[in-house]
Structure 1
Amino acid sequence: MNEKELIPQLFKTEYRKIISVLCKLFGIVHIEIAEDITNDTFLLASETWGLNGIPENPTAWLYTVAKNRTKDYLKRHKTFSEKIVVDFKLNQNQSEEFDVDLSLKNITDSQLQMIFTI
């Protein structure tokens, strides 16, 4: 399958899943942040895959890029230090590294959480 066929297919199957996982992290009130990060991820895929070819596991590539973009966003923005860090400190051991859970179970749970929130 070529890039022009693969990206629309992945967009249909993975877009809402990635947004669900990110909304679980940010909260549904910040859905636009999750959408922006997900849109940037697919834009980067279309740019990169056109030049370098399709990666061996395109779905994993999308989730990895979304995860890295999320970490970058959280590091850059004030909201992270003012609101989210406080919650993380309350809920996690300080020595643990921040990580986005991209397991199938968490993706499914995130989607269900969004369905019942909306």
Structure 2
Amino acid sequence: MESSIDQVAAKCGKQLVTFQRCILANQQNPGACEQYKTELSRCAAAAVPLLNEIKNRCVAQVIAYDKCLEQYTSKGDAELEKNCTPKLRDLWFCTEKVKREIESKDNTELQKLKQAGKEALSK
């Protein structure tokens, strides 16, 4: 299964590059890139359905990480890493859990379809 990041890069490359360039050019003021962040988020949500599920089910972790980034981005890499890495880790664990649950559900549905196909062929 192609990773979500690879899917976003493939389907929303223009928005991703624009947002990255803005962030690099505005490191002291990431808020200047809000429009590009929104455009990238919209494209990613449309292109990768898993991201919508993650946004819905990991909303607390997303908000906590975003707030941490807002608070510590201007305070230097050491402060950012020290304070936001635990929040990023929590978000990662949540996204992995959602991904596993969706993959498990997809596999269960696939097995049911295969079984139904076998039963139909044996009649």
Which TM bucket (shorter chain)? 0.3 to 0.5
Counting helix residues as a fraction of each chain, which structure ranks higher?
2
Bigger-Rg structure (1/2): 2
TM-score, length of structure 1 as denominator length: 0.36
> Larger relative CO (CA 8 A, sep 6+): 1 or 2?
1
